[in-house]
Amino acid sequence: MLSHDYDYESILETSHRVNWKLEEVIAGRTLDYSRPFLPDALAGVSGIRCLSDAEKLKLNQIRGFTYLALFALVEEYIVPSVLDHVRTGDRGDDRGVQALLHFAEEETKHIELFKWFVREFERGFGTPCGVIGPAAAIVAGILDHSPLGVFLTTLQIEWMTQMHYLESVRDTREGLDPLVCSLLRHHWMEESQHAKLDTLVVDEIARDATPLEIDKGIADYMDIGKMLGGGLQTQVELDLVSLEKAIGRRLSDPEKAEIREAQIKAYRWTFLQSGMTHPKFDRSLRELASAGYTRDIEFVRAIA
Ligand SMILES: [Fe+2]
Ligand SMILES: [Fe+2]
């Protein structure tokens, strides 16, 4: 149903080749607080007029922190959804089971990596920063949708992760912190196989689904997107509090309004639009259902 040339056998083979150990990535490493943590294409900080350069650097680092903390949080729902797909799937394909279990195992390692980063940041940044949660409630909220809706969300996230690394981080000249760059590079190496696996999973679910069920899956994926969008708005408010603590001054209402506007835009681009408009994701959605695809395009436009 979906056009692709992926298969479990070769994905599993590549996954084993690029696989890394957590200790090798983090051993003896620490963050350099004189550098930005995220490229400005994702952080959306450079154009904010009411902040000094030093304050912009603080906001950039807060955004680097929440970027990885939010990844740790959303990846938590991926593990049970993949295990459920293995359990309920009707497959005589051992390689497929191995590839999917390997996928789930890698996501648990990524969660561990991001949690390590969160602790490292909290140890060194100097002031506290809030993150939306609790993770269990967000995970339950996502998983409370049809498997197709859940896996379309994952597919969007997998392509988005790759785009962030390839287009914003890999060749950046912004002098980003080397540890954050290394974490994002290692994450991308494994995620590039996940996007393919996820395409296979969406294809499997859609092949057994009626047009009505496919429609429901796309509606669920958009519901999850709206739910995440609400979470991002809350995150911007938490970031304003974190920023005031980090720069040691109260922001005026007009200053907050300027930062809020820039940051809502940046968060939506980073976590929603950049994946929703990714050409590969776009193609899969269009092939699933043209009506659902049109609704998605309208949604992306509405939050732009
Ligand atoms: Fe991951
Ligand atoms: Fe992944």
Q: Measure the CA–CA gap between 58 and 186, rounded to whole angstroms.
A: 25
Task: Dump the DSSP string for 150-199.
Answer: HHHHHHHHHHHHHHHIIIIITT--S---HHHHHHHHHHHHHHHHHHHHHH
Q: What is the number of residues in the chain?
A: 304
In this prediction, residue 171 carries a pLDDT of 84
Contacts of 162 (CB under 8 A, 6+ apart): 188, 191, 192, 195
Q: What is the pLDDT of residue 29?
A: 93
Three-state SS at 142: helix
- 293 pLDDT above the threshold of 70: no
CB-based contacts of 116, cutoff 8 Å, min separation 6? 22, 26
C-beta of residue 63 within 8 angstroms of C-beta of residue 123: no
Query: For residues 5 and 60, what is the distance between their CA atoms, to the nearest angstrom?
Result: 39
- What average pLDDT does the segment 87-92 reach? 77
Q: At what angle do helices 53-88 and 253-268 cross, to 10 degrees?
A: 40
Q: Tens digits of per-residue pLDDT, 127-184?
A: 999 999 999 999 999 999 999 999 999 999 999 999 999 988 888 889 999 999 999 9
Query: What is the CA(107)–ligand 1 centre distance, in A?
Result: 5
Count the neighbouring beta carbons within 10 Å of the beta carbon of residue 114. Answer: 20
Q: How far is the CA of 16 from the centre of ligand 1 (A)?
A: 15
226, 302 contact by CB (below 8 A): no
Please report, rounded to a whole number, the percentage of residues in the chain having pLDDT higher than 70.
Answer: 95
User: Which residues have CB less than 5 Å away from ligand 1 (the ion)?
Assistant: 75, 110
Q: What letter does residue 249 receive in the DSSP assignment?
A: S
What average pLDDT is seen over the chain? 93
Ligand number with the minimum distance to the CA of 70: 1
Task: With beta carbons less than 8 A apart as the criterion, state whether 201 and 231 touch.
Answer: no
Ligand with an atom nearest the CA of residue 82: 2
Query: How far does the centroid of ligand 1 lie from the alpha carbon of residue 109, in Å?
Result: 8
